[in-house]
């Protein structure tokens, strides 16, 4: 581990003492053999019990972790992990799929992740992101590049869910973002060029015309609506 991660473990060990059970990094930052220093590191902290005093003890650690460029850590008790997998199947699947244990016992090694609520949570998350995207259109539409940036940023978050969409359809999801988009487009007969145009956008490196962003956004919404409809129509 690098010095930052060592310091993270030391600070948490000091804050929680024997109550600390595990520290797990998960997500894109830990894919591959080495950590990606440029990608924020997501951390799951597992403790035996969790009170206000326990959170206060970790306040400075959480602030420091965020100041060095990472999202605030997620806390679960050991008991909550066992009870909550049916409520958060998407999050638990993502955490378990790509993870690195920094401290303690791997909490996912023997955890059974229940997926009977996966389709419902997936539809809920997709619809929520679509509603938010529509709302964000109003301020972004005043500037073509702001709208292009909005589409590119939103696509990154949708791809996380698209992996689970493929699995709901019984398809093993690829790891790479573009492969996920192509596989989903093939499965649902979607226009690949729309996803490709948004995915290739590079902020500050190109300028979009207003007509192109408007047309692309309209097509993008239709694709998202078709994905949601397909998930909604999946049998239980």
Q: How would residue 98 be classed by pLDDT, with cut points 50, 70 and 90?
A: confident
Q: How would residue 33 be classed by pLDDT, with cut points 50, 70 and 90?
A: low
Residue 74 CB-density burial (10 A; 0-12 exposed, 13-18 middle, 19+ buried): middle
Query: How much is the pLDDT for 192?
Result: 95
CB burial of 128-154 (b: ≥16 within 10 Å; e: otherwise) equals ebbeebeebeeebeeebbbbbbbbbeb
Nearest to 156 by CA among 20, 28, 18, 56: 28
pTM: 0.81
Let me know how long the chain is: 236
Contact 26, 55 (CB under 8 A): no
């Amino acid at each position: 581990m690098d010095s930052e991660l060592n310091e993270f473990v030391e600070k948490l060990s000091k804050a929680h003492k024997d109550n600390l059970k595990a520290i797990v990094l998960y997500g894109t930052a830990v894919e591959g053999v080495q950590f990606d220093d440029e990608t924020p590191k997501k951390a799951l902290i597992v403790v035996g019990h969790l009170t206000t005093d326990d959170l206060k003890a970790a306040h400075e650690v959480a602030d420091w972790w965020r100041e060095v460029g990472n999202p605030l850590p997620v806390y679960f008790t050991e008991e909550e992990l066992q009870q909550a997998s049916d409520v958060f199947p998407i999050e638990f699947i993502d955490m378990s799929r790509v993870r690195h244990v920094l401290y303690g016992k791997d909490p996912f090694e023997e955890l059974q992740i229940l997926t009977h609520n996966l389709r419902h949570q997936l539809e809920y998350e997709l619809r929520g992101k679509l509603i938010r995207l529509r709302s964000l259109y109003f301020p972004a539409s005043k500037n073509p590049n702001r709208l292009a940036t909005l589409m590119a940023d939103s696509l990154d978050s949708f791809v996380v869910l698209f992996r689970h969409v493929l699995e709901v359809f019984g398809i093993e999801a690829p790891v790479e973002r573009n492969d996920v988009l192509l596989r989903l487009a093939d499965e649902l007969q979607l226009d690949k060029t729309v996803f490709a145009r948004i995915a290739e956008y590079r902020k500050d490196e190109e300028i979009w015309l207003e007509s192109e962003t408007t047309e692309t956004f309209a097509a993008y919404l239709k694709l998202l609506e078709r994905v949601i409809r397909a998930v909604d129509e999946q049998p239980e």
